[in-house]
Amino acid sequence: MSRFAAPIAEQIWDMKYRFKEADGTPIDLSVEDSWRRIARDLARVEKDPDQWEDKFYAALEDFKYLPAGRITAGAGTARQVTLFNCFVMGTVPDSMSGIFDMLKEAALTMQQGGGIGYDFSTIRPRGADVKGVAADASGPLSFMDVWDAMCRTIMSAGSRRGAMMATMRCDHPDIEAFITAKSDPARLRMFNMSVLVTDAFMEAVKADGPWELVFKDRVYHTVQARDLWNKIMQSTYEYAEPGVIFIDRINQRNNLSYVEEIAATNPCGEQPLPPYGACLLGSINLARLVRDPFETNAELNEAALTELVATAVRMMDNVVDASKFPLEQQAQEAQAKRRIGLGVTGLADALLMLGLKYGTEEAARQTEAWMKAIARAAYLASVDLAEEKGAFPLFDKEKYLAGGMVQDLDEDVKEAIAEHGIRNALLTSIAPTGTISLYAGNVSSGIEPVFAYAYTRKVLQKDGSRTEEEVVDYAVQLWRDKFGDKTLPEYFVNAQTLEPAAHVRMQAAAQKWIDSSISKTINCPEDISFDAFKDVYMQAWDSGCKGCTTYRPNDVTGSVLSVADEKPPAEAPEQVRGGDDAAEVIYMSEPLQRPQSLEGATYKLKWPDSEHAIYLTVNDVVINGHRRPFEVFINSKNMEHYAWTLALTRMISAVFRRGGDVSFVVEELKAVFDPRGGAWMEGKYIPSILAAIGGVLERHMIAIGFIEGEGMGLKSDPKAEVMAVGEAPRGKACPSCGEFGLQMVEGCMTCPSCGYSKCG
């Protein structure tokens, strides 16, 4: 009998975690083989490997403890990959050579599958003097473009997607450009972005006071704090970014504040880390620990929880010694502090099994109690490890007990730390668990509410056909198994029906006993007012959260996945308007015939250090009074360019003549990265000559009114409108499987059908 609770769980295991030969031949013949592989690898550093292998296997069995994806996929495979999930890189120097040294380190880390975070506040603002070269600085945003291009290249070369977090202090002179950078959807696509908000700034916001933008003691501008706050809020209201990180609170609550200062996080924000900091992640599956679900005596087995936490802490501590690291500095940092991030998944399902409504005061109290129990068990387990194997090398008893979350621990726990030390400096974190939650039978993800109790998933078969299967939430399936078609009780709520305040309440309840941070998305309704939206962030600040990430569905971010039954789509109309004043968008099974004459324009593109210019001619067709691109001619006297310019001419023209939304051509060209280096043009870094051509095409589309502005594409997505005829609204298309169901979960755009996550 299969251990998998749902077909999607086995499919996720096969796609993402099953150990296979290079040609796809399975080595893990069953999920039991995967559990054995992981248990054996993490036990090999023990004095008695056989004894601990069996205990580790028992923890993994039936998906009770879920190591993060990199451990599940990589442990015991002998592959040159890191088992650590996330890194914050070294402090970026304010020099050209130092910046590109950091770029190289980032590339090496990504090559082994690590997500990275960077604080770009250390780079001088745009327009500042660059001594010795009689030039002005291009600013941190231009260098972020370089990082973005690098990440895209690593992504295309490897099996894992690149993921990066960029942070900037709220007092950096370029903070306003940072805040609005994602208004261009073609720019910085590989970054999640967050503003480092200080206590002083929040006080200035509340007092409506002035705020100085400073770099190295020089005041560049003075703004009103509330105006800057409103700009942050307006951008995240419209584009879901940047997030907000309460950086002073993070440093004040850090157990290691006596030896490190934090200025950045990993891509999903749950791991604030110092320079070269690294962390590994894992989750206790609370949904598997509830006894007598849905009965009046339902309860979480706390004895089993305590034992499971202790085993998980030991397994994760062993990962520090078993893992490889992309950089020596990362290995040293990990060994010196032995930081781990043990969290939970299946919280919402566990609450449902106890009859508790997610987001209520009662559910928040239960969540806080469970998180405290986990923290207590984790700290005591780490004390036991310290007694057996030694405390982490930078442990200082007096300083450690005086700071961070340690102050809030029970007295007996603090006494044990004082007597024996502690093996791991930090132990708890709530990480994104979207994919491993699917693998565990579609339990609710992390501490998020259930997103959808059931939805239909289209599965691509080997013959090219698609079959449909229902994907049901783990708790809902248990209810069905127990009560058949009996109506779900009123306490079954989901992410779409909850008020934002309920999300904040749950995040704050969990945060009290999490010594790192939490990856959580606060879902907001599309029609939430701007003032109410801003209040969500103030509630997060006032309730003790370390950060805040929201998602409001709109025309830019995409609609929320519908869980209603889909109706057969009506026949798509021949043409759809993208808005009252938008260009006509036409979808054709055959290309348009070329008219005898066309209107167009020719552009000269001079690439730096190139002897010959490139000339681009873009001709347009007029349909119902609206112009749209129809063909392109690219010419150069440089014979080295002949083959690719001819190929590009033919391919782009063929795409243009098919009709539809062709603005993606611009986006794809602008994303091309030349490993030999790009060039600075008009104060902006352009990663390749192909990207420069994409920029020319974009300017032409803006000039004829086909798109609204730089990076904006069509005013609305006509493809979504065509596909939505006769159907309920759906999310954006998944770039991995193509299903229209992307949803924002734990700060990441995630696909429920295949487990794809933007954050890797």
Active site residues: 266, 268, 270
Residue 759 three-state SS? coil
Cα 43 from Cα 26, distance rounded (Å): 23
Q: Is the dihedral of CA 150, 114, 552, 476 positive or negative?
A: positive
- Answer for the pair 171, 205: CB distance below 8 angstroms, yes or no: no
DSSP, residue by residue, 521-577: -EE--TT--HHHHHHHHHHHHHTT-SEE-EE--BTTTBPPPP-SPPPPPPPPPSEEE
Residue 400 sits at φ, ψ, to 5 deg, of -65, -45
Beta strands in 428-476 (DSSP E): 454-460, 466-472
- What residues contact 748, with CB distance under 8 A and at least 6 apart? 192, 267, 268, 432, 434, 519, 757, 758, 759
Relative to beta strand 278-285, strand 340-345 is parallel
Angle between helices 31-43 and 302-322 (to 10 degrees): 70
Cα 751 from Cα 446, distance rounded (Å): 15
Cα 568 from Cα 44, distance rounded (Å): 55
Of 286, 732, 357, 367, nearest to 551 (Cα)?
732
Q: How far is CA 275 from the centre of its chain?
A: 20
Q: Is the dihedral of CA 669, 671, 673, 677 positive or negative?
A: positive
Angle between helices 96-111 and 140-157 (to 10 degrees): 30
Cα 715 from Cα 709, distance rounded (Å): 9
Q: Torsion angle, CA of 192/141/516/393, rounded to 10 degrees? A: 130
How big is the CA angle at 504 (ends 503 and 505), to the nearest 5 degrees? 90
Burial of 403 (0-12, 13-18, 19+ CB in 10 A): middle
Of 268, 324, 284, nearest to 427 (Cα)?
284
- Answer for the pair 312, 65: CB distance below 8 angstroms, yes or no: yes
